[in-house]
Amino acid sequence: MPETKDRPTRLWILRHALSTYNRQGRFQGSSDDSHLTEEGFNEARRAGEALARIPFRTVYTSPLARAVETAGAVMASREHPAPVVSHHALAEISLFCWEGRRYAEICDAYPDQYGDWVHAPARFSLEDQQGARRYPVREAFDRARLLAAELTSRHPGEDVLLVTHNGMGRALLLSALGLGPESFHTIQQNNLGVSVLEYPRGEREARLLVLNATGYIRPRLPKPKSGAIGVRVVLAPGLEPGAASEWLNGAQRLEARSEECGRLIAGLPHPGARPLTTIALSGAANELDGVLARLPLLPAPLVRAAKLQSGRFTVVHYAGPHSPAALLALNLSFPGSERTGMELTA
């Protein structure tokens, strides 16, 4: 293990692989009836290969089966696997009576609460099994802050892998940047998406190095959770004209300093473009940092934490005027590149 005296602590956050409930379109929450599919197991092994060079001291996993299975598959591909420790704080947000039920069913049966889940997550509440009123997203953020403080204190200067879930992963990432539950839907975590938080020595506030890296599984832009509508803005510093592979075919291309870029920013959020429209912005990293800062509806702490890297791409999605802007990915390798999305912080 390398000398850790002056190294930052890095928390690598990995969402579990594709599960049976993911495939069936059901809410999972803290239920433990969902397991990895065969595809999920295969892709989790590929995640282990992609992360093989990262010197993890410890792997912490949610105690739920789909996360434990993912952690096991990831470590199985390593010559010297790190110890895997179950940690209750990494379990998914509890959704009580919603768990195991299909998304469409919940939308119809609980229209007001589902509206809060989508548009006002800090206010979202459900009754638990004892009839007590609970605020699942708020509780997850409280849990995430305590967990981050515990792990950064326990593992100074080390790389630690956390295998968790969509909701809990977002709570960990956003709370580390000083954001609260109202920002719950402003980032995305796909199955097996890898994100990296870096805590410099002596500092409590994290930097976001990578968000939602999935290119090691499938070399394409992350699919928006809200579906193929709206505008997807790809910030690609250092991308030379004509150098992009087919993953950007069909995208409108603009230069960061162009008038068209200014008009794009002024016109966002686009009113629900169908099908999904992709705009690729090129320029120097510092120019595109400025563009990112001017994009509407992204929380300021998230923008401050997202320092763009040349030769890597970042994606922001606008589903429509009534949906929050979402950072889908940060600092991912261009699909087809010889570099992997993991080498940035190895």
Q: What is the DSSP letter of 287?
A: H
Would residue 322 show up in a list of annotated catalytic residues for this protein? no
Q: Any idea which residue has 């080390």 for tokens?
A: 158
Query: Which string of DSSP letters, residue by residue, matches 19-87?
Result: BHHHHHTB--TT-----B-HHHHHHHHHHHHHTTTS-EEEEEE-SSHHHHHHHHHHHHT-SSPPPEEE-
**Considering 43, 69, 87, 92, which one is annotated as catalytic?**
92
Q: What is the DSSP letter of 227?
A: -
Neighbours of 246 (CB within 10 A): 10
The whole-angstrom separation of Cα 18 and Cα 116 is 26
**Considering 16, 165, 185, 317, which one is annotated as catalytic?**
16
Reference 43, options 16, 22, 64; nearest CA is 16
The whole-angstrom separation of Cα 99 and Cα 258 is 48
Would residue 16 show up in a list of annotated catalytic residues for this protein? yes
Residue 212, φ and ψ in degrees, nearest 5: 60, 50
Within 8 A by CB and 6+ apart from 106, the residues are: 27, 98, 114
337 and 309 Cβ atoms separated by less than 8 Å: no
Catalytic residues: 16, 92
